[in-house]
Amino acid sequence: MIDLIKAGGVIMYPLILLSVLALAGIMERLIFWFGILRQEQKTAESILAIAREDLTLAKEYAEQTIKVPVGRFLYAPLALKEPDPELFRLALESTADEELVGMLKGEKLLEAVITLAPLLGLLGTVTGLIISFGSLKLGDVAANTKSGTLTQGIGEALITTAAGLTIAIFTSAFHRLFLALQDQQARLFIKFGNQLELIYRQRR
């Protein structure tokens, strides 16, 4: 691995930095989503079940679950003092927007890695080719090959390109996964929000 990094030239160092940042961002997001998915369904169903019997008790229970996004989402309208149905819905919608935006935390870092990694790989390709062509001696192909500068430059170009693309593809796969999870959360918020709003309208 060390030999490969050295063969890739100086561009490999910012690529390594990008890979570390991407890995850190991915791990943080995985921990975040694992914590949400493990508690969310049960929390929402519990709040809705209590709300069907008593909205005040539902409010108190939801307040205990505000560490979970869906708990905060359902607590926001219940915390209002006798709101009309329109205000109740507005509280749901505004809280949903805020929570969904918060779920995108860290996505900008992944997007930056996806954008920069291939560009750095391309830069490595260019610098490698510059080294290769700069070492060419017209009419003396044997000397060019023997010196190793030509093959070194081509090797650097190929290694940095491969490294940049690998980092970008790996990061992009997780980025798409996190966006899909966020989209799933939006659908669940709509589902649970509609159920709570219907319960509230029926109990007014």
Give the model's confidence band at 150: pLDDT under 50 very low, under 70 low, under 90 confident, else very high.
Answer: low
Q: What is the pLDDT of residue 146?
A: 47
Q: Alpha helix locations (H) across 106-148?
A: 107-134, 141-147
CA torsion sign for 67, 70, 73, 74 is negative
Domain extent for 7 = 2-203
- Where is average pLDDT lowest: 22-36, 60-74, 139-153? 139-153
> Cβ(154)–Cβ(5) under 8 Å?
no
Position 202 pLDDT exceeds 60: yes
As a whole number, the mean pLDDT across the chain is 85
Of residues 149 and 24, the one with the higher pLDDT is 24
Listed as own residue / partner, the contacts of 125-128 with beta carbons closer than 8 Å and 24 or more positions apart are 125/157, 125/158, 125/160, 125/161, 126/157, 127/9, 127/10, 127/11, 127/156, 127/157, 127/160, 128/9, 128/153, 128/154, 128/155, 128/156, 128/157, 128/158, 128/160
* Nearest-angstrom CA–CA distance, 204 and 38: 33
Q: What is the pLDDT of residue 23?
A: 95
Residues 6+ apart with CB under 8 A from 153: 128, 129, 130, 131, 132, 133, 134, 135
Structurally, the chain folds into a number of domains equal to: 1
Per-residue CA distances from 2 to 8, 12, 13, 120 (Å): 10, 11, 11, 19
Q: What is the pLDDT of residues 184-194, one digit of tens each?
A: 999 999 999 99
Alpha carbon 163 to its chain's center: 20
Q: pTM for the full model?
A: 0.80
Q: What is the pLDDT of residues 168-188, one digit of tens each?
A: 999 999 999 999 999 999 999
* Nearest-angstrom CA–CA distance, 155 and 151: 6
